Structure 1
Amino acid sequence: MTGGERLHDAIEQFASKKPVVVTMGDMGASAAYMLSVPAQHIVALPSTLTGSIGVILQRPDVSPLLGRVGIDVAAITSGAMKDQTDPTSHLTPEGRTMLQGLVNDLFDQFVGMVSKGRHLPEDKVRSLADGRAYTGRQAIGLGLIDELGDEDAARLWLRKQLKIGNAQYPVMPLLTETSRHWYDLPHRRAILEGVFGAGIMEKMDRQLAISSLDGAVAILQP
């Protein structure tokens, strides 16, 4: 959530000085949608999954399992809430209320970002924000995106905003070769996709992204 907030704010600051358009592929949901809302224009495909406005804090409780194998974990805490994010401790009703309060406050922040970025009343955003995703075709009717189309449609909108006609302008890749995962260089990825299939590689990308997250997250659960 914090990483999404920082990127959202950076894009918002940039969009206050230059036109920004977002083009979505197969998914632009949850935290990805959070990053999209500061843009002046959002383009998605009819089948794009977007929206999924919400926050999830997963808190496993392995204490019953530890008890069955004869392991007892004693938590020495300075307060009753200190161990309520520890999966080896039992989640108390008071702890659940405390954690729900954190999620609710983070959710309010997310709703505020969408309301401001999309120029929508907050109550309307809340009516759409039960965590569900929408297709691009559904989202345009709800005001969550502006146009159905692909990257060419997004570029056309940008050309009109910049009044550059048919002039050429450079497109810079977001990721450099050195910032990719070791397997993501074209020749290595081609070999791995040939052996394991493209679907497995996509799942690996997604799992690595999820495993690097910490705390409360805004992400569409597959």
Structure 2
Amino acid sequence: MTLDADALVDRRRLRRKLTFWRVAAFAIVAIALISAIGYAAGVGGLSKRAAHVARIDINGVILDDRDLIEMIEEMSETESVRGVVLSINSPGGSTTGGEAIYGALRKLADKKPMVAEIRTVGASAGYMIALASDHIVARYNSITGSIGVLFQYGNVARLLDTIGVSIDAVKSAPLKAEPNYYSPASPEAVAVLENLVNDSFEWFTALVAERRNMEPNRVKELANGAIYSGHAARENGLIDEIGGEDVAIAWLEDKRDVPKDLPIITWSAVDETADIPFASSAARAFGEGFASGLIPGLDDAKGLISRGLVLDGLVSVWQAPVAVENGSSNRGDGND
């Protein structure tokens, strides 16, 4: 008799649990459908289906970003995008990454009016990307410039000698994999790198001369790796106007006939559901909470590896990552 009573209690508990989860599942589906309908109708939030100015955030170190480029291509085919603001806060990054993003943005600028706004810093490859727009705005004290290219390499030969380790290699040619970390760079290897950097530097300065309508010799004078305040950049013709996003939007409205008072919507290459209020926020909150519970030290670990270490080859970068995150060569100081 006791066993039958226990089984009955267990069945009732199970039934209550099943009822709860059925109701919860129904509620989630209903809310998701309501959110989707609201998104499609543009109710309860800003919708990309309605006319708007699109904001593209360029933050942190610039890499070859396929998702960003695909988003830019999609933007060019979206009729509701009436204008574009490039919002830049980056010290630069890989030269090829900047080149790829610049190329995609130039194609977008052929179809949509575009203006660039440099916030805390838009240097090196960050400035390269700003050149894709037809008008560049920066704050009086923004940091920009740093036009140049850098190839860095290290050498631990003396350390290896100290600990008694030697590394040998068999090569198909003397310049294969040169320079390396294990022996001093040969003059021939350094000459190869100089040719590579100079070739990239000539391309970068020619781009500045073309986009800023400047004499090549004048660009070379400015492209000594130096950074400039927004005010100095304006005086030297590297930007067009002092101000923030409001000034950038005013230029779109006054000079490119973008309708006034359009909403500004930030497009994201990472989260395409950012403008679906419930679905996006709920999923993000759950995912972040779950991940942080599984790996509590993940955020702290991010600071253990410098972002500069992930950059390979030619870079155009002004090295002040902390300023960007908190606000956010000699021939050159890295690919901007």
Aligned to 1:21: 115
Residues 154-195 of structure 1, C-alpha deviations (whole Å, 9 max, x = no match): 01111123424434244233354489xxxxx7997xxx9xxx
SS, match of residue 119 in structure 2: coil
Q: How does 1:65-84 map to 2 (within 5 A)?
A: 65-84=159-178
SS, match of residue 316 in structure 2: coil
Does 2:322 match 1:212? no
Q: How does 1:1-222 map to 2 (within 5 A)?
A: 1-177=95-271, 204=303, 207-208=306-307, 210-222=308-320
State how far apart, in whole Å, the 2-side matches of 1:221 and 1:170 are.
Answer: 31
**Partners of 2:115 and 2:134 within 8 A in 1:** yes
Deviation at 1:17, TM superposition (A): 2.7
SS, match of residue 130 in structure 1: coil
State how far apart, in whole Å, the 1-side matches of 2:98 and 2:135 are.
Answer: 19
Q: What is the TM-score normalised by the length of structure 1?
A: 0.83
**Partners of 1:29 and 1:52 within 8 A in 2:** yes
Segments of 5+ residues of structure 1 without an aligned counterpart are: 180-184, 193-199
Give the paired residue count.
206
Identity, in percent, stands at: 34
**Partners of 1:50 and 1:136 within 8 A in 2:** yes
**Residue identity opposite 1:58 in structure 2:** Q
State how far apart, in whole Å, the 1-side matches of 2:268 and 2:310 are.
Answer: 19
Taking a change above 3 Å as real, the CA distance of residues 186 and 126 of structure 1, as seen in their structure-2 partners, is farther
SS, match of residue 315 in structure 2: coil
Taking a change above 3 Å as real, the CA distance of residues 97 and 70 of structure 1, as seen in their structure-2 partners, is same
**Partners of 2:146 and 2:227 within 8 A in 1:** yes
Q: Which segment is superposed worse, 167-176 or 47-56?
A: 167-176
Segments of 5+ residues of structure 2 without an aligned counterpart are: 1-94, 274-283, 293-298, 321-336
Cα RMSD over matched residues?
Answer: 2.7
SS, match of residue 265 in structure 2: coil
**Residue identity opposite 1:154 in structure 2:** A
Residues 104-131 of structure 1, C-alpha deviations (whole Å, 9 max, x = no match): 1111111111111111111111110011
Deviation at 1:16, TM superposition (A): 2.4
Q: Which segment is superposed worse, 69-78 or 20-29?
A: 69-78
SS, match of residue 143 in structure 1: coil
SS, match of residue 218 in structure 1: strand
**Residue identity opposite 1:143 in structure 2:** G
Residues 34-70 of structure 1, C-alpha deviations (whole Å, 9 max, x = no match): 1011210000001111010001111101112111111
**Partners of 1:75 and 1:83 within 8 A in 2:** no
**Residue identity opposite 1:96 in structure 2:** V
State how far apart, in whole Å, the 2-side matches of 1:215 and 1:178 are.
Answer: 31
**Partners of 1:30 and 1:218 within 8 A in 2:** yes
State how far apart, in whole Å, the 1-side matches of 2:265 and 2:168 are.
Answer: 56
